[in-house]
Amino acid sequence: MSNHNQSIRAQWSSNIGFILAAVGSTVGLGNIWKFPGKAYENGGAVFLIIYLVIIAVIGATVMLAEFTIGRHTKKETVGAYRQLRPQWASLGFLGVVACFIVLCYYFQVGGWVLYYIYSYIFKSAEVFTDPSFYFNYMLGFNEATGTAFFPWAGAIIFPLIFISLTVIIVIRGVEKGIEKFNTIGMPALFAILVILMIRAVTLPGAGEGLHYMLIPDFSRLTGETFLVALGQAFFSLSLGMAIMITYGSYLRKEENLAKNTALICGFGTLTAFLAGFMIIPAVYAAGVAPGKGSGFAFVSLATVFQHMSAGVFFGILFYVLLFFAAITSSMSLLESVVAAFTERMNIGRKKAAIGLAVIMFAISIFYTVSQVSVDIRGIWFDFANGLSFPTLGDFMELLTDRLLIPLYGLTACLLLAWVWGAKNGVDEIRQRGKFPFKLAEGWVFLVKFIAPAAIIIIIIFGLFLGRALT
């Protein structure tokens, strides 16, 4: 690595800018698109309680570990791992691989969100009245005739716009691009979320959904609730993907890591909850099945908005919200990969961002196309049949959610607690900020034993127990 790069290393201009950027990374499609569906399927209020406990005990522990490694080394993930233990450098690369794969579908889904904004503005009649709008327009599958066609808009045009926006922001840099965008985008996102939530809970018939989300029914608690909550907590807090190491590496020494971690986990989780309290009551009020995954945000919600007065307006608002959530996360993903390439290989930011985005875009097209296109899906399906991964997208999600993300999270905990030494970590955190003795002791215990044990459990169960984590 060149000294040149080191000497001009980027920094956040303010602590609040850092917090907003980190919250921007955590609040993404995972919080708004995946979380409400998971909360619904796994018992509503019970799931929310377990989720909160897991965030406080394990999520915050791992996040603080990542920030500490990042700020101490002031390097992207591979360099950070290498500095603490040269033999671990390739493990640091796992995080880059995970970001790369997640981006390959994030870019497409981000494009779909833009496509929905466009459609609500220009074609709301079709969105509302054509139940197969999602398949027909976005994925390129005509249900009526059973034929597949190439989805130009869903796979190429809108994803390309989304990718270009992400690339432009990342090229502008940490302070002028990412920090600046988040300083405007995140307050806007919160404001929209609150408006939509108020609208949702005041819909006639929303009470039942609220009841489900507020009154715990402990008979619904199973081992799977914990597994799903743990997997979701990692994804939702952007842990286990090198992002918090990268973002932490741009933080000045005078900022308080422990407090920042608490704030970021708090805000990230609050938005997920607000999203849950927006979507579930709305879905109950409209009397539609919530569904899950992409069907949830793109299919069930069309019915919800259709039954609402000023539905087009609220529909647009919802997809604008989803757009802010998606782009602030996708820039954090791209930044982590770009930082690794620029710092390790001495490539300029612009070249790295554009080059990587082009490769990812090429791969990402298959994500959308493989959802329905008979030809491509046929090939993939045959190969994957035995493994029961029906589409490329499912395969990407399984590989990252079940394997790479927890594995990298595990390496971060072990590297900090056992290789570098938990005491050194505490010293780094204490450098300026306060970290009370009892809290530090508790964190050391969690990062040494509890977090690694919990992650090993997710990996084993996630890999061997069927769909426990999807």
Beta carbon of residue 155, minimum distance to ligand PHE (angstroms, whole number): 21
Beta carbon of residue 26, minimum distance to ligand PHE (angstroms, whole number): 5
25 binds ligand PHE (CB under 6 A): yes
182 binds ligand PHE (CB under 6 A): no
Q: Say how far apart CA 389 and CA 397 lie, in whole Å.
A: 10
Number of residues this chain uses to bind ligand PHE (CB under 6 A): 15
29 binds ligand PHE (CB under 6 A): yes
Q: Which of residues 229-248 bind ligand PHE (CB under 6 A)?
A: 235-236, 238, 241, 243
Residue from the set 12, 20, 31, 301 that interacts with ligand PHE by CB under 6 A: 31
Residue (104 or 206) nearer to ligand PHE, CB: 104
All residues at 6 or more sequence positions from 299 whose CB lies less than 8 Å from its CB, including other chains:
131, 134, 291
C-alpha to C-alpha distances, 140 to 149, 201, 377, 391, 418, nearest whole angstrom: 5, 35, 12, 15, 51
Q: Say how far apart CA 278 and CA 196 lie, in whole Å.
A: 6
CB 274 within 8 A of CB 268: no
Task: Mark 190-229 with x for binding to ligand PHE (rule: CB under 6 A) and - for no binding.
Answer: ----------------------------------------
Burial of 31 (0-12, 13-18, 19+ CB in 10 A): buried
48 binds ligand PHE (CB under 6 A): no
322 binds ligand PHE (CB under 6 A): no
332 binds ligand PHE (CB under 6 A): yes
Beta carbon of residue 334, minimum distance to ligand PHE (angstroms, whole number): 10
108 binds ligand PHE (CB under 6 A): no
Q: How many residues does the chain have?
A: 470
Q: Say how far apart CA 314 and CA 320 lie, in whole Å.
A: 10
Beta carbon of residue 205, minimum distance to ligand PHE (angstroms, whole number): 28
Beta carbon of residue 32, minimum distance to ligand PHE (angstroms, whole number): 8
Residue (333 or 440) nearer to ligand PHE, CB: 333
User: Where does this chain bind ligand PHE (CB under 6 A)?
Assistant: 25-26, 28-31, 102, 235-236, 238, 241, 243, 329, 332-333
